[in-house]
Chains A and B, each alone.
Chain A
Amino acid sequence: MFLDFFLLLRQHALPVTLPEYLTLLAALRSDVGGTTVDDFYFISKTALVKHEQHLDLFDRLFGEYVAGKQSAPPETLPTIPPDWLRDALETQLTDEERESMQAMGGLDALWQRLRELLDEQDERHEGGNKWIGTGGTSPFGTNGSNEQGFKMNPGDRSQPDRGNRTAAKIWEQRAYKNLDDSLELNTRNLKMALRRLRILTREGIEDELDIDGTIDGTSRNAGYLDIKMQPSRKNRVKVLILFDVGGSMDEHIELCSHLFSAARYQFKHLEFMYFHNCVYETLWRDNSRRKERVPTWEVLHKYNKDYKVIFVGDAAMSPYEITMPKGSVEHYNLEAGIVWLDRFKAQYPHLVWLNPNIAAYWPYTQSTKLIRDWSGDRMFPLTLYGLEQAMKSLKNPKITFAP
């Protein structure tokens, strides 16, 4: 019973397992089972879906399952792509784009997909289909805007039909749509990611019973109780964060300030400095008072190699700013940026570079490549996943990232 539904969910990578399916069947047999499609929707949702991010996908699949098989696509498009389109794609795509197109099944498969999508849009206009927004794979230059499905779908969400609470509509409202995204990157989950960088040591006030010590002391005391205390284990990791500010970093201000406030309360020993584009002979402590500079040598001497160093920057600049003396855009630097970067690398075995730019764009910037090479592929994107990996890398430098 409903095995095909279960398999449909599995096919679309919804993480449902056999015990959950059996639970669903048991629920259907019990009193709460109900007899309407609505109840089946509620019960299957509560039994099978375990995360709100999956709710939207579930709604769509449920709609698909209830509606039954798809109708054949109408002949609104030729069965094969016309030559002019094929030619245009051949000439305009880069090798990588061509490769990723092949990975999606080649031009013919994509053409088929476009036809299907168009077909669904037709049905939508007649009032009642729900697969809009399933296509996120088009190489036709509409990446990202695909949510609305090839822009041929006016008024998909613009009129939330209130009061329309008929049974078949509930999953079609797609109420969980905006939950179906990668987690919003807020201070809280940034903190959670930063927590991965924990080095627990015992230091400070003795506020915990040391059982081994107490047993030992009591035995030596001929059985007379001798309570020993010890400091509790706390995270005492030392972190030095260097923020790139100004220029192209301006668009990432919000993200960086989130990271900053998360880091501030997460690490007890936290030092932070600012630089512009690349580190040179001076850094500054306060972004509003750039005049008060700290010599980089002083930083290198003051913070020993126990410190974990995190660079935050988009690494997007002219390559000369890294490789050449006097290459900086702001001043005459006697030594090239890479010399200073190498000094950091020699001093701190544990360092990472966090890049707020999208990782897929990294290969297009030469300076980003230079810095990635310098860091030994320890450049991580400033996303939750990237941050988690970066924190792991600070403990184990063998963990690297490739976009």
Chain B
Amino acid sequence: MAASPSLVPILHHIAFNTPYSLRLTVPFQGTDRYVATRELSVAVNASIQLQKPLLIKGEPGTGKTLLAYEIAQALGKPLYTWHVKSTTSAHQGLYEYDAVSRLRDSQFGSERVGDLENYIRKGKLWEAFESEEQAVLLIDEIDKADIEFPNDLLQELDRMEFYCYELQRTISARHRPVVIITSNNEKELPDAFLRRCFFHFIRFPDRETMQQIVTVHFPDLAQELMAKSMSVFYSIREVKALKKKPSTSELIDWIRLLLVAGVTHEDLNELDALNELPPYLGSLLKNEQDTELMIALRKKGGRPY
């Protein structure tokens, strides 16, 4: 397992003579609408600086997709989003050649037929490569696609170029885009793909961070209501048997509902005293079994919170 000692100077040489000309002018530190932990901003900045794709994982509703939007906004770069579905193939992100419509045009002697480019539809990756300035490219939910999907993008993301067979030329990025990839872990990603990425796991925010997040969304929220709703939220999350734990986005929705309906922390305390469930629980619990579980817990007199 131990490396030979002679390897060490070589490593130094390689590591310290690799040019990284691109210097970050404004590092990403979250925005006025998005709270990024130090951990997350370090990961984002490292991936921008070293021009590697950043793979983001984490519980649903912790702001994985939102991150790309906020990076684009914070750094003032155009954003290209590629939402992956189960039927998406890697090629669709590059380009699609519409042979059938060309065939059809040829039957009617249309003038368009002569120019192949008329029948090439550019994908998101191509668009991002062509962008006049450095762009942010979001590949959303990469795990939804077929198992082979990430492997088909290795070269494209590594070298930021691909070959268009129909036009017989290589399309390469003018400015290497900042690539953000999100995954919900429905499929394992291949190792070769992971090697080329930076990885960050957005863990569920602790109370302090959560308070910041809520404050960012509702700057005028009364302190008591904030404290009460947070304690309700975290105690629901602590119920072990829940099928789907509520996450950040659900808490935000719930607080918004409470504010619209004019529910105060006193109302919540009162309902507590009457052994009733808090209002609009449907925005926190998305599963009828979970709701039934909460009702049953209440009936038993056990206070989940």
Instruction: Tell me whether B186 is interfacial, beta carbon within 8 Å.
Output: yes
Pairwise interchain contact B57-A15, C-beta atoms closer than 8 A: no
Instruction: Tell me whether A168 is interfacial, beta carbon within 8 Å.
Output: no
Check A32/B42 contact, CB under 8 A, given A3-B11, A25-B15, A46-B199: yes
Q: A179 CA to B59 CA in the complex, in Å? A: 11
Contacts of B3 in A (CB 8 A): 3, 7
Contacts of A80 in B (CB 8 A): none
Pairwise interchain contact B50-A39, C-beta atoms closer than 8 A: no
Closest to B15 in A: A25
Pairwise interchain contact A23-B43, C-beta atoms closer than 8 A: no
Pairwise interchain contact B201-A34, C-beta atoms closer than 8 A: no
Q: A10 CA to B43 CA in the complex, in Å? A: 22
Pairwise interchain contact B24-A31, C-beta atoms closer than 8 A: yes
Of A47-55, A99-107, A119-127, A359-367, the one touching chain B? A47-55
Check A46/B14 contact, CB under 8 A, given A31-B27, A51-B199, A55-B201: no
Instruction: Tell me whether B273 is interfacial, beta carbon within 8 Å.
Output: no
Q: How many A-B residue pairs have CB under 8 A?
A: 104
Q: A3 CA to B5 CA in the complex, in Å? A: 10
Check A163/B208 contact, CB under 8 A, given A10-B1, A50-B195: yes
Interface residues on B, range: 35 or more
Instruction: Tell me whether B203 is interfacial, beta carbon within 8 Å.
Output: yes
Of B100-108, B110-118, B225-233, B296-304, the one touching chain A? B100-108
| A292: min CB distance to chain B, Å | 29
For A215-232 the 0/1 string (1 means CB < 8 A from B) is 000000000110100000
Pairwise interchain contact A42-B39, C-beta atoms closer than 8 A: yes
Check A22/B201 contact, CB under 8 A, given A32-B46, A192-B186: no
For A158-181 the 0/1 string (1 means CB < 8 A from B) is 000011010000000001100100
Q: Which residue of B23, B49, B106 has the most chain A CB atoms within 10 A of its CB atom?
A: B49
Pairwise interchain contact B20-A30, C-beta atoms closer than 8 A: yes
Pairwise interchain contact A47-B16, C-beta atoms closer than 8 A: no
Contacts of B208 in A (CB 8 A): 162-163, 165
Contacts of B103 in A (CB 8 A): 214, 225, 227
Closest to B5 in A: A3
| A24: min CB distance to chain B, Å | 9
Contacts of A113 in B (CB 8 A): none
Closest to A24 in B: B15
Contacts of A227 in B (CB 8 A): 100, 103
Pairwise interchain contact B191-A11, C-beta atoms closer than 8 A: no
Pairwise interchain contact B191-A23, C-beta atoms closer than 8 A: no
Contact among A11, A17, A27 with B46 in the assembled complex (CB-CB below 8 Å): A27
Pairwise interchain contact B200-A38, C-beta atoms closer than 8 A: no
Q: Which of B1-57 contact A (CB under 8 A)?
A: 1-3, 8, 11-12, 14-16, 18, 20, 23-24, 27, 38-39, 42-43, 45-47, 49-50, 52, 54-55, 57
**B residues near A, CB below 8 A?**
1-3, 8, 11-12, 14-16, 18, 20, 23-24, 27, 38-39, 42-43, 45-47, 49-50, 52, 54-55, 57, 99-100, 103-104, 106-107, 186-187, 191, 194-195, 197-201, 203, 206-208
**A residues near B, CB below 8 A?**
1, 3, 7, 10-11, 15, 17, 19-23, 25-27, 29-32, 34, 38-39, 42-43, 45-47, 49-52, 55, 162-163, 165, 175-176, 179, 188-189, 192, 209, 211, 214, 224-225, 227
